[in-house]
Chains A and B, each alone.
Chain A
């Protein structure tokens, strides 16, 4: 199975400051069709997951432009340019290239 490793696991951030979460995979996530199926999801407390980013850097409908995804191959990053109170929650990376699809452990974003 592909192991997805996120760092950090916890990220205390000051409101208005940037935040960054890294995700690395144990194998390349480039699919045979040339796409890289790496997504980022946000889970606010008590809520279901919400898709933020798909295929490394594509922002999903309604997602604020302060969220940016980047990376290639096995190393990926989610950046939040200016953290707002509503961004508190757990962030997961997910790979949809290799079966079984797998998630990172999650990164808890909290406000200092």
Chain B
């Protein structure tokens, strides 16, 4: 059975701290891994990673995928209170036909709380 496991489940930090969120996966026919941020409403897309070892960056956020060890990390530097949210990791796998159709397998999420 496909599995996506995130750690830690929750994290409390102060503004300015750097955090690392982890996502490990066990899926057959892996195609890509996505990170989302959810703040009590719609999850918003952060990154999609398909190639191992290539870091994706967006401002203070960055993410990297290790396809050999089957995990990804999401780093947030100089955290701000606005970073408080649930961070979701999701994996896309290929169907038998070789393509994937809208089906993401999500981890349980990491609840990040940033105190001023």
Tell me if chain B binds chain A.
no
Which residues of A are at the interface with B, using a C-beta cutoff of 8 A?
none
Please report B residues at the A interface, Cβ cutoff 8 Å. none
